[in-house]
Amino acid sequence: MNAEIFQMGTTLLGGLALFIYGMNLMSDGLQKTAGERMEKILALLTRNPFLGVVAGALCTAVLQSSSATTVMVLGFVSAGLMKLPQAISIILGANIGTTITAQLIAFEIGDYAWIFVVVGFILYFFLKKEQIVNIGQTIFAFGMLFVGINIMGETMKPLAGSPVFVDLMMQVQDIPVLGVLLGTGMTVLIQSSSAVIAVLQNLAMTAGPDGVSSIIGLQGALPVLFGSNIGTTITALLASIGGTLNAKRTAAAHVIFNLSGTLLFIWFIPWYCEFVRLISPSGLETHVIARQIANAHMCFNIISTLLWLPFIGVLVKIVTKIVSGKDTDKLPSEPLYLDRNVMEQPFAAIHLAKKELSRLAGFAASMIVSAKKAFLGNDMNEVKQVLEMENVVNELQQETVSYLASIALAETITEHQAAEVSGLMHVAADIEHIGDYCDNIAVFAREKIKNKYEFSDSACAEIYECFDHASRMVRDSIAALETGNHKVALNVKSQEQEMNRTEAFLRKQHMKRIYEKTCSPEFTVIYTDVVHNIERIGDSCDNIANAVLENVNFQMEGEAAE
């Protein structure tokens, strides 16, 4: 008897393992297949609450995990890219999106599971084109998911003959709170509400002692379903540890939303069961209950969302009251946008990396302004400012490159995303080089101040114009990086050619002044070195523009191939 129980337990866990593996693999395949379209979904995330619900549902449908969407949202909130009301609206949508898995399971296509496995395997392992391979991975994983379901279903059938198990199921039906606690505990343990609901659907399809009715019934399944919705919030709570106050408030809002839905619906279970049966197919209970559970799951989350959506402002006030306080300001050298919790969603991690690079480039741009004041205004305070900011830029550049390297290791990264990450690493290096050139100019400024060198008015005017030109190029290259606008990137390249011509012209002008004795020969080295360093800033901006253009071209080629 003990051997039979052990065999049943291991087989059930094996089926669950195959299901979770298939679901995660399908999520990876869907994410790769969606590719650049995920960036368009990101654009919806920061608009308004209504679009936030749509975006949250879409993201979760692709990622096949409301927890993954929630963790991504927490990263955006921590980075200040998203306000609390928008984050909450996305979480509401994520709860709707996660019901797709239960709907897929409810379609009884287990008999065709191995067909999906075989077709997906052929596309996944034997073809070379990335997009086809990603589709093959999704189909293969979809089949594996149902193989796991079939194994769990076969394993659960003998449970109907166990008096202990039947008695436990009767208690769950009679004591809804017990079902809620069971669903919550299982989800916290497995870390997947979809897996718990899959187990629940398979259990519900198992006939009880009478051989006709479900062993648990819809009325017994609903509390477990509600509990799984509460249990799934644990991921967000864990991810918010060490995050900003708004991240913690977002996680708290997730808990309140899911908990409040359960507290409301648990009082109306008999009536809700009737509603679910009304909108679901009719037939033998064991044949239709999986569909009923899927519909109950979807309607539960849709109704809860519709009830809370007009009161998002109230929910914001509640979580702000619960999680009170004020965030401490970060040091300039600390990354503001980088969040390692979203590494498995490369499209989101790349988005955050770009924001950090833009911030880094902003620091480099401020160094140009300070270097200009230091050199032309003989200001030692600005010299110190440049030297201090150089350390900040170096530290941030190292952090950002390390983050980008981690993104490159993600299993879900696509060929295009890998190329984009490589380009962003070069961008980070070029921004750091801009800081180096400003640092060089600050050193020249210190020498100029120390030796009391005085340049002619025409030489100062030329250098002034060069600094302004460099500032424009840095500003435009940041804009190209943020927007991916190829026209702005091409404009930067045009400005770089002009900068090269300007440097050659200024060298001749300086030699002319020396010949005319309006400028001292001893200033030549400093003058030409400063102009050359400014020109090198232009080279770095040109490299950033090239990275933007390469990414645009890669994306266009990918779309053409599709």
Q: Which helix (H) or strand (E) holds 190?
A: helix 176-190
- Which of the residue ranges 110-124, 273-287, 375-389, 516-530 would you say has the lowest mean pLDDT? 516-530
Q: What is the pLDDT of residue 174?
A: 77
Q: What is the pLDDT of residue 328?
A: 67
Average pLDDT over residues 280-309: 89
Q: What is the pLDDT of residue 301?
A: 92
Of the pLDDT bands very low, low, confident and very high (cuts 50, 70, 90), residue 125 is confident
pLDDT averaged over the chain?
Answer: 84
What lies within 8 Å, CB to CB, of 470 at 6+ separation is 368, 499, 534, 537, 538, 541
Q: What is the pLDDT of residues 54-70, one digit of tens each?
A: 888 888 887 777 877 88
Within 10 angstroms of residue 538's Cβ, the number of other Cβ atoms is 28
Of the pLDDT bands very low, low, confident and very high (cuts 50, 70, 90), residue 47 is low
Average pLDDT over residues 162-178: 73
Average pLDDT over residues 81-99: 86
Cite the DSSP H helix spans in 452-523. 457-483, 486-515
Q: What is the pLDDT of residue 360?
A: 92
344-561 has CATH 3.40.190.10 classification: no
Q: Kindly report, as residue ranges, where domains of CATH 1.20.58.220 are found in the chain.
A: 344-561
Average pLDDT over residues 515-538: 78
> Is a pLDDT exceeding 80 seen at residue 179?
yes
Answer whether 254's CB lies under 8 Å from 233's CB.
yes
Of the pLDDT bands very low, low, confident and very high (cuts 50, 70, 90), residue 554 is low
| Cα 526 to Cα 179, 376, 439, 459, distances in angstroms | 79, 12, 14, 12
Q: What is the pLDDT of residue 227?
A: 92
Of the pLDDT bands very low, low, confident and very high (cuts 50, 70, 90), residue 19 is confident
Answer whether 174's CB lies under 8 Å from 221's CB.
no
> Is a pLDDT exceeding 90 seen at residue 202?
no
Q: How far apart are CA 210 and CA 335, in angstroms?
A: 63
Residue with the larger pLDDT of the pair 506 and 41 = 506
Q: What is the pLDDT of residues 211-268, one digit of tens each?
A: 678 888 888 889 999 999 998 888 888 888 777 888 888 889 999 999 999 999 999 9
Average pLDDT over residues 148-157: 76
Average pLDDT over residues 15-43: 75
Average pLDDT over residues 4-9: 74
Average pLDDT over residues 426-439: 93
Q: What is the pLDDT of residue 427?
A: 92
Q: How far apart are CA 156 and CA 158, in angstroms?
A: 6
Of the pLDDT bands very low, low, confident and very high (cuts 50, 70, 90), residue 165 is low
What lies within 8 Å, CB to CB, of 483 at 6+ separation is none
Two structure tokens written together for 394 = 């170096």
